[in-house]
Amino acid sequence: MRLHDNGALAGALQSTHRVVPVFVFESGLIAQSDTSAMHVQAWYQALTDLRTSLRAIDSDVFIATGSIEDVLNELHELIDFGAIYSHEETGNDWTFQRDIRVAKWCEARQVEWHEVPQNAVIRRLVNRDQRQPVFRQRLIESAVIAEPKSVPLPAEVQQRCDRQQIPDHTDFYHASEYDQIEFGQLQAISETQAKLELHSFLTRRGFGYSGGISSPNTAFEAGSRLSAHLAWGTISLRAVHAATIRAQAGYREMGDDTGKQWGKSLRAFSSRLHWHDHFIQRLESEPDMEFTAINPAYVPLQYEDDPEKLNAWVFGKTGFPLIDACMRCLQATGFLNFRMRAMVVSFAVFGLHLSWRTIHPPLARIFRDYEPGIHLSQLQMQAGVVGINTIRVYSPVKQILDQDPECEFIKRWIPELAEFSPLEIAASDRPRLGSYPDPIVDFKVAAKAMKDQIFSIRKSDFGKEASAKVLEKHGSRKSPARRRK
């Protein structure tokens, strides 16, 4: 979804004088439970911008709907192409199976398929120690690829493109009982917007990054907000790294307190860019984690999976103000900062006894930045089923005091609470608050029951053995001291 630093496009342009940029609205993908109208609308926005950029250099993008094989057949009849260039993708099982079908299609017609890496995720990784050098080589040492000055489109394709409209979510919308997206408040997704957001972050917003990303009152501005752009490919991770390194050098030269604060913020930001690939690598190496806990010892955990509790959680009606404000904010904006995402998942699993698998699709559908590898890794971590991390159960009451003491965020998303004082809203044994629901569970009792289950597995021999294997395969290679720091 970009022209800048697009390795697939650059590869195609190097090998031939006729190139067709293609985007397919795949009906099978749109029907997946983790794809929503909000995601399709992001493709629409990104494509509209991409088409404008391509038309400015007398080119275009070929847009089709349906199955990938039908689209490839149609294009192959139109122009007898000899190669396909794409980026490597770490998606869900559906996209993996789709790729197998594409490989077969190519083989049957002797079409070459070149897949280009776009981050430091390694296909068929054998040794985890490869990761650091590959990261350096692909993301720091290789130069960012400039935007092409021309993308020569065959005339017969150009005529087709001229007539093509870009479909949007209203053409495909499959209603779900779990999303009520208000499209007006979503982050705009396009290459143009990604560049603006990176620039405003590195020159202004990022100053408050360190210390500003935990509270939902500040994180929307202090965080980079690049996650959705990275997920849909409107910017490359390498371009973000390169710009960050340049900015860091500039702030270092300042040498004053402002420069130091910027340095601290951008160091914290850079380490999160590493996490991006670290977690996607987990899914790449362990594709079954879409369906089962990465640590087999935790598969027998018992959940209730009560549909009424799921519904109350998804729509922000649990009677826990910060949880409900977060879920209502997600439904409206598609965004939540890391700490609040971790808290709503921990609440769903420990407080409501919903399994990470049950909450995966409804949550994925309302994340504007849905990235399967990060999403599944984080869901499993927060649910305590990876077995190598500290079990963190966020108290939904303490988090109000820590992150929203004046209840600004809560009152913004729960208008029923506007009249009440922070003391009333954050009281652990709170009174009835007008029409706002009473808590649907006794959080402390429920969380203890789930923690007891998890700790009995953690202490068992099988639990310890299985966790040692997970640590060996997926754990961070940083020494514990560096991690603590």
Q: How far is CA 168 from CA 1, 45, 107, in A?
A: 15, 8, 32
59 or 244: CB nearest ligand FAD: 244
The residue type found at 105 is W
Helices of type H across 286-336? 307-314, 321-333
12 or 325: CB nearest ligand FAD: 325
Q: Which residue has the tokens 């991390």?
A: 389
Q: What track of x and - describes contact with ligand FAD for positions 343 through 372 (by CB under 6 A)?
A: --x---------------------x-xxx-
Minimum Å gap between C-beta 304 and ligand FAD is: 20
63 or 231: CB nearest ligand FAD: 231
19 or 289: CB nearest ligand FAD: 289
Minimum Å gap between C-beta 188 and ligand FAD is: 14
Spatial distance between the Cα atoms of 225 and 333, rounded to a whole number of angstroms: 12
Minimum Å gap between C-beta 272 and ligand FAD is: 4
Q: Please select the residue that binds ligand FAD; options are 13, 186, 235, 374, rule is CB under 6 A.
A: 374
The number of C-alpha atoms within 13 Å of 307 and in the hemisphere containing its C-beta is 2
Interface positions, 323-342, toward ligand FAD (CB under 6 A): 337-338, 341-342
59 or 236: CB nearest ligand FAD: 236
Instruction: Determine contact, residues 208/215, Cβ cutoff 8 Å.
Output: no
Instruction: Determine contact, residues 47/168, Cβ cutoff 8 Å.
Output: no
At residue 406, the 3 state secondary structure works out as coil
At residue 208, the 3 state secondary structure works out as helix
Interface positions, 187-216, toward ligand FAD (CB under 6 A): 213
Minimum Å gap between C-beta 376 and ligand FAD is: 8
Minimum Å gap between C-beta 403 and ligand FAD is: 14
Minimum Å gap between C-beta 201 and ligand FAD is: 7
Interface positions, 375-394, toward ligand FAD (CB under 6 A): 375, 378-379, 382
Minimum Å gap between C-beta 157 and ligand FAD is: 34
CA-wise closest residue to 198 among 162, 237, 141, 167? 237
328 or 341: CB nearest ligand FAD: 341
Interface stretch with ligand FAD, choices 179-187, 247-255, 274-282, 417-425 (CB under 6 A): 274-282
293 or 345: CB nearest ligand FAD: 345
Spatial distance between the Cα atoms of 333 and 321, rounded to a whole number of angstroms: 18
Spatial distance between the Cα atoms of 385 and 244, rounded to a whole number of angstroms: 34
Q: Which residue has the tokens 């027998």?
A: 300
Minimum Å gap between C-beta 213 and ligand FAD is: 5
Interface positions, 214-273, toward ligand FAD (CB under 6 A): 223-227, 230-231, 269, 272-273
What is the maximum alpha-carbon separation in the chain?
A: 72
Contacts of 283 (CB under 8 A, 6+ apart): 90, 289, 290, 372, 373, 376, 377
Instruction: Determine contact, residues 202/244, Cβ cutoff 8 Å.
Output: yes
Per CB under 6 A, residues contacting ligand FAD are 213, 223-227, 230-231, 269, 272-273, 275-276, 279, 337-338, 341-342, 345, 367, 369-371, 374-375, 378-379, 382
